[in-house]
Amino acid sequence: MRFGKKAALASIATAAALALSACGGGTSGGNSSGGAVNGAGKTLDVFIGKSTTFPQQQQQWMDDTAATFKKNTGADLKFETFSSGNDELTKIQTSAVSGQGPDIYALGTTFTPTAVATGAFAQLSDSDWNALGGKSKFNQSALGISGPDKDHLYAVPFSSRPFVMAYNKNLLKAAGIDKPPTTWNELEQDAKKVNDPSKGIYGMSVGYKDGFSPWKYIWAFSEQQGQKLVDGKNANIANDTVTNAYQTYFGWLTKDKVVDPASVGWTDSQALANFASGKSVFFPMTSISSEVTLDKSAIKDQYDYALMPTSINGSNPNGGTPVASILSGDNMGIASYTKNKDLALAFLKQVTDKDAQINYQKLFGDLPTNQEALATFGSAPHMAGVTDAAGKSYATPFTGAWADIQLALVNVVVQSIPDLSSGNVSDSNLSQRIKTAQNSAQQSLSRAK
């Protein structure tokens, strides 16, 4: 009996110790005691997305960045990577709850409002901005999704991937068109001119089944027509502008027939593959990351990027904005629990300086958010349209409800795909689905704090 009790206690203690040590994993090696700006002996933990397209370059970039950081501050730099947005959210959740984890997170632009809503990121003060080189060193439009307004910024713009339209120069020229379209109407007409289904050539490649892409069209159409999808606490989705936006988007397939009918099953990467095989003239809503695929494709000498259309017919009614793209790319946020804020600012200064940003572009293709660095790329091949778009990118609404709204907008397309495939999305079905989207967006906005 006595032995039993002792052993019981011992095993409880062991198990408890095991459990505790398991929970303790994931602390950064940072020294908790405060100290000088000099970071000798400290480690800064940075959490960034894993690059599947450029794994070697990314490793090289991490090593180089860490070496420079060590030279500048004396501190070590440790990178952790995540492979999906979900990975990252889980990490933010657990770190936010436990108050320990990475010091810096790379945040996708449209994910930034959600991440900020968790309260896991501290607002950046003026002195913080000065420490990392001042707000003025950034492309000003890139700051648009760093916080809800100019005076409340939580994240530092790091890289930019504006959305553009890839087009096939040869096919366009063959149809007697000398420059890419600048309005949605022109796009439709040009696409019709090139369209030749009997030869398997279509006007556009569109990924209707993509889980992200569709909402960007709807957002752009609405902004250009002066209709904000989110107005304070109100969702503004069930209206004629949005309905027209969906009708135009679906109409390319059902009415204009300038899209391959198979595209109801395509994600964006399949649509890109279709465009890369020379079977269409336009691939709208893509980014510079498609360059990797296109440069290896049969049309590597025939493609270029242009601005997405910025209006329906040349003007933006109701005070609409000629948006070419959402603000897309990566921000970096400093965790509010960090004990290495000085180091974090030093790191952000280092990676957003001109030369580092130019180097990053050369490795990964993402555009700089540093104004001076950005200016050097306008003349590089394929870059004119892209840098142009970087200046004409606008922020999506900065609300914690945005993830839900995005999902609701895409859901309209997902549920319409069977109709789309049969050749007609009826007005009643569409308005029913838009109503559903409106409700779920409103529900989410009403909860927003």
Partner 1 sequence: MTTASNPAPDTRLAASAASRGSGPAPAPDADGNNPEPGSGTRRGLSERNRPLWMLIPGGVLMIVVIVVPLVLGVYISFLDLDQYSLRQWLSAPFVGVANYIEAITQSGILRSVWLSVSYSALATIVTLPLGIAAAVATQNKYPGRALVRSIFLIPYVLPGFVVATVWRTMFQPSGVISITLHHMGIDPGLFLNGPNTYWVLVFVQIWSSWPFIYLLALSGLQSVDHEVHEAAALDGALWWTKLRYVIFPYLRGPISLAILIGMLNHINNFTLPFVLFGLPAPNDIEVLPYLTYATSFESFRFGLSAGMAVVSLILVAIPLFIYLRAVKLDDAETPGGRK
Beta strands in 123-270 (DSSP E): 155-160, 164-168, 202-204, 230-231, 234-235
- List binders of partner 1 among 73-92 (CB under 8 A): 86, 89
Contacts 24+ apart (CB under 8 A), 48-53: 48/79, 48/80, 48/81, 48/82, 48/105, 48/106, 48/330, 49/81, 49/82, 49/83, 49/88, 49/106, 49/108, 49/330, 50/81, 50/82, 50/83, 51/364, 52/83, 53/289, 53/292
Q: Is 16 in the site for partner 1 (CB under 8 A)?
A: yes
The answer to whether residues 163 and 285 touch, using CB atoms and an 8 Å cutoff, is yes
Q: Which is nearer to partner 1, 71 or 449 (CB)?
A: 449
Rounded to 10 degrees, the C-alpha dihedral 412/254/216/293 comes to 120
- Smallest distance from partner 1 to CB 96, Å: 5
Q: Is 2 in the site for partner 1 (CB under 8 A)?
A: no
Q: Which is nearer to partner 1, 38 or 443 (CB)?
A: 443
- List binders of partner 1 among 112-141 (CB under 8 A): 114, 117-120
Distance CA 353, CA 372 (A): 9
Distance CA 170, CA 173 (A): 5
Q: Which is nearer to partner 1, 160 or 416 (CB)?
A: 416
Q: Which is nearer to partner 1, 137 or 433 (CB)?
A: 433
- Per-residue x/- marks for partner 1, 246-275, CB under 8 A? ---------------xx-xx----------
- List binders of partner 1 among 340-399 (CB under 8 A): none
Q: Which residue stretch of 5-13, 41-49, 129-137, 355-363 sits at the interface with partner 1 (rule: CB under 8 A)?
A: 5-13
Answer for which of 2, 5, 71, 199 binds partner 1 (CB under 8 A) is 5
Q: Which is nearer to partner 1, 114 or 387 (CB)?
A: 114
- List binders of partner 1 among 204-243 (CB under 8 A): 209, 211
- Give the closest residue to 50 by CA, choosing from 26, 18, 86, 24: 86
3-class secondary-structure state, position 204: strand
Q: Which is nearer to partner 1, 358 or 403 (CB)?
A: 403
Q: Which residue stretch of 171-179, 290-298, 349-357, 415-423 sits at the interface with partner 1 (rule: CB under 8 A)?
A: 415-423
Q: Crossing angle for the helix pair 240-254 and 402-422, nearest 10 degrees?
A: 40
- Tokens 């914690």 map to which residue? 400
Which tokens is 45 given? Answer: 């933990």
Q: Which is nearer to partner 1, 209 or 339 (CB)?
A: 209
The answer to whether residues 291 and 283 touch, using CB atoms and an 8 Å cutoff, is no
Q: Is 442 in the site for partner 1 (CB under 8 A)?
A: no
Residue numbers at the binding site for partner 1 (CB under 8 A): 1, 4-5, 7-8, 11-12, 14-16, 19, 86, 89, 93, 96-97, 114, 117-120, 209, 211, 261-262, 264-265, 400, 403-404, 407, 410-411, 414-415, 417-418, 421-422, 444, 447-449
